[in-house]
Amino acid sequence: MGRRERQGRDVTDEDHARLFAFEQDFVDTLHCVPMAVRLKLDRAGIKLTLRQWSRFAKADRGELLARPCRSPDEIAAYRGRLQALVDSCTGEVARPLDERVVETWLSPTPPAAIQAFASARGLPTLTETAWRALSELERFALTKLCRENHDNVNFVPALREFHIL
């Protein structure tokens, strides 16, 4: 297993397939799209519905979790595999994301949306030190878990899991 320095934190190559403790209620079946796959979907620029995901065989869901999606070649291969699965399992064409993804989780400082979300709930805001200590996937998860019009019940469990609370 290779290791590299990323965003001030030592991250294993396998972090791309990490499942969080706050996702444990669906880990065995992968009936929901895990954060690691959601990050890959954003990188690949594909909008995948939960209905489409649920039509994939469990083995295919596991493959999408395990498959790397970082380099341009990996992203292209991931997009191609995902498009093929959507076509073969649903008879639909994979849709591109409606808008370009702004990768706020790559910011060197905690994004304002995360800070506002935490503050509005009486939670402490993230320090720059705490933010820099998180892996890219952990930052991505917090970014997604504070979005408006989404079920944000895992925000606090994520903060606990990432040793912020």
pLDDT in tens, 118-150: 999 999 999 999 999 999 999 999 999 998 776
What's this model's pTM, rounded to 2 decimal places? 0.87
pLDDT band at 42 (very low <50, low <70, confident <90, very high): very high
For the chain, percent of residues with pLDDT exceeding 90: 76
Q: What is the rounded average pLDDT of the residues 81-107?
A: 92
pLDDT band at 26 (very low <50, low <70, confident <90, very high): confident
- Where is 39: in which H helix or E strand? helix 35-44
Whether the predicted pLDDT of 92 surpasses 80: yes
CA distance 67 to 13: 11
CA distance 102 to 158: 21
pLDDT band at 14 (very low <50, low <70, confident <90, very high): low
How much is the mean pLDDT over the chain? Answer: 88
Q: What is the rounded average pLDDT of the residues 72-82?
A: 97
> What size, in residues, is the chain?
165
Beta strands in the chain (DSSP E): 3-6, 9-12, 46-47, 95-96
Q: Yes or no: say if 64 and 76 are a contact pair by the CB < 8 Å rule.
A: no
Question: Quick one: pLDDT at residue 12?
Answer: 46
CA distance 111 to 130: 12
Question: Quick one: pLDDT at residue 16?
Answer: 86
Whether the predicted pLDDT of 11 surpasses 70: no
In the chain, where the domains are located: 12-96, 104-161
pLDDT band at 4 (very low <50, low <70, confident <90, very high): very low
